[in-house]
Copies of this chain bind each other. A is one copy, B any other.
Amino acid sequence: MKKFRLNLKAIFFCVVVAWVVFAATVALPQIDDPLQSWNDGPAKKAIVHFVKEVTSTGSENFVPPAERIAVFDNDGTLWAEQPMYFQIEFVFDRVKALASKHPEWKQKQPFKGALEGDLEAVFANTKNALLELLMATHTGNTTGEFSQIVKDWIATARHRKSGRPYTDMVYQPMLELLAYLRANGFKTFIVSGGGIDFIRVWSEKVYGIPPEQVIGSSIKTQFELRNGRPAIVRLPEVNFNNDKTGKPIAINQHIGRRPIAAFGNSDGDLPMLQWTAAGEGARFCLYVHHTDAKREWAYGRKSHIGKLDKGLDEARSKGWTVVDMRKDWDRVFAFEELKLDGRQ
């Protein structure tokens, strides 16, 4: 009886050992893959190759951690931008929220169109419709008040197609890429055409990117003592438009050194990628190409939103990495199931 018990123990022990060996050699590498939502392919391979190149101490392209700056566009690169930039949805919701204080808006474009959800009417009448809506809805309050408004909106608003919170519409492969870069000593920045004070409210929670690493378009502000209490008040005047050539200018202004990696999805990101690529040593530029009409959207050369035309040509001629969303991403959003098709 005792001998039998010992044998049972031995068998159990062997099974455990076998399982551990199996897990360590076969199953675990897949679970531990920091880029598990990326299919094996040229894009994933290029990312991993670059990171190894700049982080291996023996490498001739080694970059000290302090200089491992990576910049990311936001709309269309880190989260979706269809059927309309999410911040424009916020603007429309703000017009509705403020409408009772502005009865004249019912008759006046572009506010009338915004209230009625009539996009064509909004953009048909005035050239600067968006600017007008932004100034009417984003200013006049303090920085603290505006942050609270964005915080409340992002917690409750829903994407018109998926019905999900906008913060669910972030690309899971890009979240993994951000974390992978940071685990390798990179400092990750957002460099967006969107509003700096809009993104900062939720970027730390959603992307792990703190406010001081968010660069965006901005309006002018004014410092005031209100009843002896300091306040920063938002003025109805554009301070900086962080798009196209504005991006490298803002990178220089905020970061003060040239990134070694840049990630975008449109022609508006091209100067940022050019600026990054033109530095010495190993550089990495990547375009997310929206090719997936089924899981996300398919658009590019002729799109009004996120047009990728000149950028795509330059990426191909310069050998930058172009992500084919349909092929390269195992899943687009975290709420999709991971397939892990054809992994080795």
Contacts and interface: CB of A to CB of B under 8 A. Distances in A.
Contact of A212 (B187, B211, B232, B275): B187
Interface stretch (A101-109, A153-161, A244-252, A329-337): A244-252
Q: Interface extent on A, as a size class?
A: 35 or more
Interface string A255-280: 11100000000000001001100100
* Chain B CB within 10 Å, residue with most, of A211, A253, A274: A253
Nearest to A210: B66
A196 interface: yes
Question: How many copies of the polypeptide does the oligomer hold?
Answer: 2
Interface stretch (A55-63, A82-90, A122-130, A215-223): A215-223
A204 interface: yes
B66 A256 contact: no
Interface of A: 66, 69, 143, 187, 196-197, 200, 204, 210-214, 218, 221-223, 225, 229-230, 232, 239, 245, 248-249, 252-257, 271, 274-275, 278
10 contacts: A66-B210, A211-B257, A212-B213, A212-B256, A214-B256, A218-B253, A223-B249, A225-B274, A230-B274, A232-B252
